[in-house]
Amino acid sequence: MNIFTPSKLERDCIVVIGKESTGKSQLIAALTGETPYSANFRGSTVTCDTYQSEAYTFIDTPGILYRSDSVTTKKALRQLQENDTVLLIVKATDVDRDLADLLPLVADKRGVVAITFWDKVLSTVHTQQVVLEWTETSNLSIVTVDARHLTIEQKDYILASLQEPHPFPAQWIPKRAGWYIQPQPTLLEHPRIGWLLAIALLLIPAIIAVWGANSFATLADPIVQNAVAPIIKSL
């Protein structure tokens, strides 16, 4: 397992915080153009994916899926040093809940907010005004992105903002955006055919395996019999 060497620690450390499936890893990869390696964060028991760039070491903390997962994130946050910066990732489709759950974890830390999956939100005057008001009331750098298609301008803005991050206000309660975009249900989640598909997916591998074994036996049987017959006759 890799560990942080002194040369790596000389870079400014960016600790990335966010829930599961918010596009954290994709965004960091787009910012650095690098692939990660795994390491324990500063001797703690928290294993993180780590990305290196010329100026920064990005620490991708484990994604928070349940409220109990925040314990792991808090362990990582306890390791933060004075010059460390937080890149807080929230999902545009559920931005109100993400901000409410994650802001208490980073209160009084310095950082930048990236709102991912912005392509899922209809960009209107209202949505733009909401983000602008958050920026003005928090004094934070807040950027809306599609992590899969990060533009050069967005990348430059995020990296520039990380050079001079502002503290997360301890008492800041952002105005509710008021939107929630329900993900499209998959076929397995369909109320009528979902259970049938689930059963089919469980049975199909077994059916294929049995069919393959029977087909092989049918083909191999005459070959084996022809090979064994002379031996049997000679006995």
Give long-range contacts, CB 8 A cutoff, 24+ apart: 160-164.
161/112, 162/12, 162/14, 162/56, 162/85, 162/87, 162/112
User: pLDDT (tens digit, 9 = 90+) per residue, 81-120?
Assistant: 665 799 999 999 999 999 998 998 888 889 999 999 999 9
Helix (H, G, I), strand (E, B) or coil at 113: strand
pLDDT at 144 over 70: yes
173 domain-assigned: no
Give the pLDDT mean for 159-168. 94
What CATH number is associated with residue 85? 3.40.50.300
Instruction: Let me know whether 146 and 203 are in one domain.
Output: no
**What pLDDT is recorded for position 206?**
85
Identify the residue whose tokens are 């803005």.
Answer: 157
Looking at residue 122, its amino acid is: L
Identify the residue whose tokens are 């899969």.
Answer: 148
Instruction: Let me know whether 24 and 114 are in one domain.
Output: yes
Computed over every residue of the chain, the mean pLDDT equals 82
92 domain-assigned: yes
Instruction: Let me know whether 159 and 213 are in one domain.
Output: no
Instruction: Let me know whether 46 and 122 are in one domain.
Output: yes
Instruction: Let me know whether 122 and 199 are in one domain.
Output: no
Both tokens of 98, joined, read 């993400």
Instruction: Let me know whether 107 and 198 are in one domain.
Output: no
The more confident residue out of 107 and 8 is 107
pLDDT at 229 over 60: yes
176 domain-assigned: no
pLDDT at 170 over 90: no
Instruction: Let me know whether 206 and 104 are in one domain.
Output: no
Residue 142: beta bridge partners? Answer: 113
**What pLDDT is recorded for position 230?**
76
User: pLDDT (tens digit, 9 = 90+) per residue, 32-84?
Assistant: 988 877 766 655 556 778 898 888 989 888 777 665 556 667 766 666 666 57
Q: ∠ CA(44), CA(49), CA(53), 5° rounding?
A: 110
178 domain-assigned: no
The Cα 113–Cα 111 span in angstroms is 7
**What pLDDT is recorded for position 9?**
46
212 domain-assigned: yes
**What pLDDT is recorded for position 45?**
54
pLDDT at 2 over 50: no
Looking at residue 41, its amino acid is: F
Both tokens of 75, joined, read 């362990």
What is the DSSP-derived secondary structure letter of residue 185?
A: P
Per-residue pLDDT band for 174 (boundaries 50, 70, 90) equals very high
Determine the structural domain holding residue 225 and report its residue range: 187-234
177 domain-assigned: no
- Which of 138, 167, 196 is the C-terminal boundary of a domain? 167
Instruction: Let me know whether 46 and 154 are in one domain.
Output: yes
Instruction: Let me know whether 147 and 58 are in one domain.
Output: yes
**What pLDDT is recorded for position 188?**
58
Instruction: Let me know whether 152 and 211 are in one domain.
Output: no
Q: Which residues contact 208 (CB under 8 A, 6 or more apart)?
A: none
**What pLDDT is recorded for position 218?**
85
The Cα 114–Cα 185 span in angstroms is 26
What is the CB-side half-sphere exposure of residue 10 using CA atoms within 13 A?
A: 4
Give the pLDDT mean for 147-164. 94
Instruction: Let me know whether 207 and 124 are in one domain.
Output: no
Domain count of the chain?
A: 2
172 domain-assigned: no
User: pLDDT (tens digit, 9 = 90+) per residue, 196-225?
Assistant: 777 877 888 888 888 888 887 788 778 877
The Cα 146–Cα 160 span in angstroms is 18
The Cα 127–Cα 200 span in angstroms is 43
Instruction: Let me know whether 107 and 153 are in one domain.
Output: yes
174 domain-assigned: no
Looking at residue 178, its amino acid is: G
pLDDT at 10 over 60: no
